[in-house]
Amino acid sequence: MKSCYPGAAWVILAGLWLAASESQPPGCQDCAVLPGRQVLVQPPTRLRRLAARPPCPSGMNWIEGARQCCAQCPAGMFLVRPCSSHGNDTVCAPCPPGTFRTLPNTFTKCQACYECARQDFQSVLSNCSATSNVVCGCEPGRFRDCLDEHCTEFSCRQCQPCTGQLIQRPCSEEQDTLCGSCKPDFYAEGSECRPCHTSTPETCSKECQRVCGVGRGLGLEYILLVLTGPLFLGALVIYHKRKRFRHDALPTSPLPAAQEMEHDMSKAWSRLKPQALLQEQPSSVERLGGEVEPSAPSEPHSTLLQGSQLYAVIDAVPVRRWKEFMRVLELREAEIDLVELEVVHIRDQQYEMLKRWCQQTSATLDRVFAALERMELAGCAEALRQRLLEGP
């Protein structure tokens, strides 16, 4: 039994050696496995293929089906057939309508173009082409409401109108209008700005009274009449007393007394000339004895504007400076804004603004010419004079 142990040991050692030799990498079949060392494992076949892929030169891509580098198709085209081993004979074709490729590529099809969402009020800024996708934006009067971080998805929202408010930042495609405080002659009522001319003393709030002054000037004309009435009556009493005194002192010379009376009356009227009492100027002066002396003919430029003259003024002022012209004539900004909201056509807006100015003040050609001079439009003023001299 003792003589058999050495043979069995050799058989066991031979089996271990064969198992170790099968687990060795290529080229190490004769290497012995040392105790405590790890055995190297052969990498998979796919990794060996990737490691063996050569780098492609610039302008070429690796095509797995051809197992070689092939030339790229230019932008706007896609790969139909890769190159063969015989030469660089890559076959490309243009992108069909409605598709695109922006860069050189080796893709086998083109990318579909994006469609603008009409239901979200998007509009096409630039159409899709073979080399570029469609570019979408918002319709005028709307801005983008982004739905993601890079604003690739968005809807278009209506810009704020800022009615009666100053605009701090106009509306653009990137951001909404930023409204400021109320315009002159507008007052804040909740979240709105309302024009002063539509307010009445019964409905005017404290803010309305502060801005528009409603209530402070209430009944001003009547107050003027109450204050000036006694003064006017006193002047008449003084005039009659002086008239009687002079008539008793100089009975044979009535004409100088009448002249003195006219002088006293003119002085009294110069002190008591409120705007509420003087609506028209007399066209003649009645003298003693029933004689009427006609007043001096007025200058054409001091007469009130008539219907045909309104259009002459409109034609003389440049359209781009019309609002400035009305501001120089002291038409309120609220009236200008209201006319622009109510009237559509430019020429009708000009006529309506000029008509409202004539209704609110003493509208004479002198004031029109003075406004044109202040605006440094002397040429327009001269053209208006010639037009008025020629007549309709």
Q: What is the mean pLDDT of residues 182-189?
A: 87
Which residue intervals of the chain are DSSP H helices?
A: 5-22, 45-52, 206-212, 220-249, 254-271, 307-316, 322-328, 333-342, 346-360, 365-374, 378-390
Region of poorest pLDDT, from 9-23, 125-139, 372-386: 9-23
- Is 357:336 a contact under the CB 8 Å cutoff? no
More confident residue, 346 or 53: 346
Structure confidence at residue 264 (pLDDT) = 55
Q: Counting beta carbons within 10 angstroms of the beta carbon of residue 51, is it exposed (0 to 12), middle (13 to 18) or buried (19 or more)?
A: exposed
Structure confidence at residue 9 (pLDDT) = 61
331-342 per-position pLDDT tens digit: 889 989 999 888
Average pLDDT, the chain: 75
- Is 383:316 a contact under the CB 8 Å cutoff? yes
Residue 11 has pLDDT above 70, yes or no: no
The top-scoring range by mean pLDDT among 43-47, 76-80, 114-118, 165-169 is 76-80
Task: Name the pLDDT band for 280 (thresholds 50, 70, 90).
Answer: very low
Task: Name the pLDDT band for 274 (thresholds 50, 70, 90).
Answer: very low
232-243 per-position pLDDT tens digit: 788 878 877 776
Task: Name the pLDDT band for 17 (thresholds 50, 70, 90).
Answer: low
Structure confidence at residue 242 (pLDDT) = 74
Q: Counting beta carbons within 10 angstroms of the beta carbon of residue 120, is it exposed (0 to 12), middle (13 to 18) or buried (19 or more)?
A: middle
Reference 131, options 173, 86, 88, 99; nearest CA is 99
70-121 per-position pLDDT tens digit: 889 999 999 998 888 766 788 999 999 999 999 999 999 999 999 998 888 9
Tell me the domains of the chain and their CATH numbers. 1-42 (no CATH), 49-112 (2.10.50.10), 118-158 (2.10.50), 165-212 (no CATH), 245-271 (no CATH), 304-390 (1.10.533.10)
More confident residue, 260 or 68: 68
Q: What is the mean pLDDT of residues 195-212?
A: 79
The top-scoring range by mean pLDDT among 103-112, 205-214, 221-230, 259-268 is 103-112
What's the one-letter identity of residue 13? L
Reduced to 3 states (helix: H, G, I; strand: E, B; else coil), residue 260 is helix
Structure confidence at residue 77 (pLDDT) = 95
Residue 157 has pLDDT above 60, yes or no: yes
Structure confidence at residue 133 (pLDDT) = 94
